[in-house]
Amino acid sequence: MTNNNRKFFVELVLLTVIIFFVFISTWYKDSFFDSDGIRIFSMVAFGIAVDLCIYAYKNNLK
């Protein structure tokens, strides 16, 4: 496993965790995740993670 592949794998894991948090905040509306700050944070983090994964994927294609 090269260093680039390891970085890509870590970013995929981060993306999976963030998607998990987004789903929790969507499904369990009565929980801690109901606050708007958490929802906005998870949206922003999701966008950043998607950008990171696209960037890593493009780098792997070179």
The tens digit of pLDDT for each residue in 23-45 reads 776 666 655 555 666 677 777 77
pLDDT at 6 over 60: yes
Measured CA to CA, the distance from residue 55 to residue 32 in angstroms comes to 32
At position 32, the amino acid (one-letter code) is: F
- Long-range contact pairs involving 59-62 (C-beta distance under 8 Å, separation at least 24): 59/4, 59/8, 60/4, 60/5, 60/8
Domain count, the chain: 1
pTM score above 0.85: no
pLDDT at 52 over 70: yes
Q: What is the pLDDT of residue 25?
A: 67
Q: Which domain holds residue 13?
A: 3-61
